[in-house]
Structure 1
Amino acid sequence: MTQYRVLLSHLATLHATSIAWERAESFSIGERYREMLFELMLSSENDWFITSIKAIVYLAAQHEQLQHEKYQHFIANKLYEKLLKTETLVQPTERMCNVFCHRDASNFNIFFAKHDAERCCLVDFGLSTYSTPAHDIHFMLYMNSTQTTRQLLYQEFIKWYFDALQAKFAELGIPATELSWQEFQADCKRASLVALIISCLCLPIHLLPSKLMATVRSQQAQKFDYWLNVDRRELLDMAMAQDPAYKAKIMALIKELMEQLLASEAQES
């Protein structure tokens, strides 16, 4: 729990200071650095993204708990197109404040101080974007926690972040009204679906069994590149056959995503 709080506080500092910088110089980070802060991960021109979408569809189609007609119809006819539009969900908005987002705060890019639990460092800003703060914190939560942890502690997590953000606002002379609790809660609802989609794109690769990863990288390097950027089915089948725990984690994510997408579609109709 302490590490989550430290990370959320660090993200709050990053976000608040980006607003303070914009206010001090009367400019928009998104406009000034438009050519640098473009969406890379979720672009339809990114082969990795397209391959990841196809992998989600493949996993969903064979999920034992998603064989009901309503799921299979959605998977066969709507899932791919829904996922392809994810990029539109992370664009800057005029509804509330936008901030500089790290957008890759997975465990690979987080380093905690050895002798100080209150200190950590975020590295690798290669996927940074300009968007609402909820996208950044939800990416961190979904990439670094289980569904059970989120269900138990989600409200505590977002309240901790919001309080840390408001404290940093006060310190930097930013009005508390820059982002209200009501605005933030509404944005969290939108961002949670995007973060779940991104975790389903990334975690089937990030969580691959270590022995399998070592083998394919050393003995099948070219094939591994093919699996990453063209067709991932063979790799996923091998991983799930070798490691039931891996299969359970990935399939739990896929089921969570399908339930959220269907719930969202029901609300829209």
Structure 2
Amino acid sequence: MSYESVQRWIDEMMPKIIENLELDIHKAQYELLESTGNFMSNIYCIRLKFENKTNRQKEELSMILKRPMLAFNQIARIDLQFRNEILFYQMYAQPDNYAKCFYVEERPPIDSIIALENVNGQGYYSCPYKYYPPVEYTLAAMRELGRFHGKGYVMKEMQREKFFDITTQIQEVRFTNTTENIYKFACNIKTLRVVEYLRSQDHDAIFCDKMEALFSNAYEEVMIKTIQPVEPLATLCHGDFTLDNILFKTKNDNGQHLSILIDFALIRYSTPVIDLSTYLLLCCSNEIRKEKFFDFIQAYYDSLKEYLLNTGVQDIEKYSYNALLSDFKRGALFGFVVMCVFTPIILGYLSPEVLIQEMLDFGPLEGTKKQRYVGGDKVSKILVDALLYLKDLGCLKHVL
């Protein structure tokens, strides 16, 4: 997209955003500071300067404008992802620990907009580590996830009608029965490399046979089964709880890192394991996960419990540590499948640009087959070690 077309779009959107700010603004000026993006969204950083007529002070406001990316829209249903995120900010987000939403407008397929506060101004930035962050970052992520899930429990108990009104409006993006579902192909094809590597290392044949039977239909047998909401632990889940979707702030007065969640396009009504297992399997190294797993789960639980008690929920036994740990063990393979799909990408063996181009050139099925062994034995061993740790943890008992 040319600079001129981007600027025309911004010039069309900014008057609407300014009008929606509910400030007495005079002499407004804005400028595009930076343009970035990924294969889902174009991201524009805007600085707005204006005179506040109420206090006659000159002020500045930094914001992020999100717009759908055209190239991958049909395969990834980016229009539906934007609808989910708009739903989140309109009906759920305020007034908790999220970026302020200044304006939304749904105009699919590529002209929808979400205008958000740039929380860099509050000191929140992306993790300086692209993968396998130090322990303190994961602890901060776990604490914030506990609060996020806790908010869902509180709303489900105290504003039940509103809560289920929101969850019933969420659009399904990844887990559909369409014949060209790229995620289905990825789950079923990219997990089988683990079985092949195990067999090459003369691992127990019975275990390999059972894993092959399961992973050959991982999409249905693992992913679809795990996302089903199981009461009473079902809550609003982020759905894409990865390092890319968490911003961090340097230590507070207690010496802890703080975090804030972003990008709510894949929210869903499910149980906590889909978020916990996604992060702990995909974003933590095998070594750190083995050493600190129970510390991470404890940090998550303590934050969840504190949130529930502070908001007046007294009956918290159904959200007990043991109940949440059992839920994790029941569904941890969800995060393992996510790990198989995305580890080659986060480790730099497969770029998002190449992934997209091959999907467009060869189609979802053949493109996925082409990427099956990306990263070679090094990646396969990482995946195998994670699977065997889950076995030792008791997460495979129901499938063995």
TM-score (norm 2): 0.55
Mapped partners of 2:211, 2:319: distance in 1: 37
- How much identity, in percent, do the aligned residues show? 17
1:112 to 230, 248, 261: 248
Shift of 1:91: 0.8
Aligned to 1:102: 238
2:336 to 196, 209, 221: 196
The residue type equivalent to 1:7 in the other structure is A
Q: Highest relative contact order (Cα 8 Å, sep 6+), 1 or 2?
A: 1
Using a 3 Å threshold, how does the CA distance of structure 1 residues 30 and 257 change in structure 2: closer, same or farther?
farther
The residue type equivalent to 2:347 in the other structure is L
2:347 to 186, 195, 207: 207
5+ unaligned residues in a row in structure 2: which ranges? 1-134
Deviates more, 1:102-111 or 1:154-163: 102-111
- Look at both structures and tell me which one has the larger radius of gyration over its CA atoms: 2
Q: Tell whether the 8 Å contact from 1:142 to 1:199 is kept in structure 2 after alignment.
A: yes
SS at match of 1:130: strand
Aligned to 2:152: 18
1:253 paired with 2:366, answer no
Using a 3 Å threshold, how does the CA distance of structure 1 residues 226 and 66 change in structure 2: closer, same or farther?
farther
1:3 paired with 2:142, answer no
Aligned to 1:85: 221
1:155-193 Cα deviation digits (max 9, x unpaired) = 111111111111111110112224122212211211322
1:53-86 Cα deviation digits (max 9, x unpaired) = 2122245325532566435544655531354322
Shift of 1:108: 1.7
Shift of 1:49: 2.3
The residue type equivalent to 1:204 in the other structure is P
Q: Tell whether the 8 Å contact from 2:233 to 2:271 is kept in structure 1 after alignment.
A: yes
Shift of 1:105: 1.7
> Which runs of structure 2 are paired with 1:156-167 in the superposition (5 Å)?
156-167=295-306
Q: Tell whether the 8 Å contact from 2:188 to 2:217 is kept in structure 1 after alignment.
A: no
Shift of 1:205: 3.2
Using a 3 Å threshold, how does the CA distance of structure 1 residues 13 and 250 change in structure 2: closer, same or farther?
same
5+ unaligned residues in a row in structure 1: which ranges? 241-246
Shift of 1:115: 7.1
Mapped partners of 2:161, 2:329: distance in 1: 28
The residue type equivalent to 1:147 in the other structure is N
Aligned to 2:192: 57
Query: Cα RMSD between the aligned structures?
Result: 3.2
Aligned residues: 256
Aligned to 2:310: 171
Q: Tell whether the 8 Å contact from 2:290 to 2:389 is kept in structure 1 after alignment.
A: no
1:190-230 Cα deviation digits (max 9, x unpaired) = 13222112211222333333xx638x64xx96435456822
Using a 3 Å threshold, how does the CA distance of structure 1 residues 227 and 195 change in structure 2: closer, same or farther?
farther
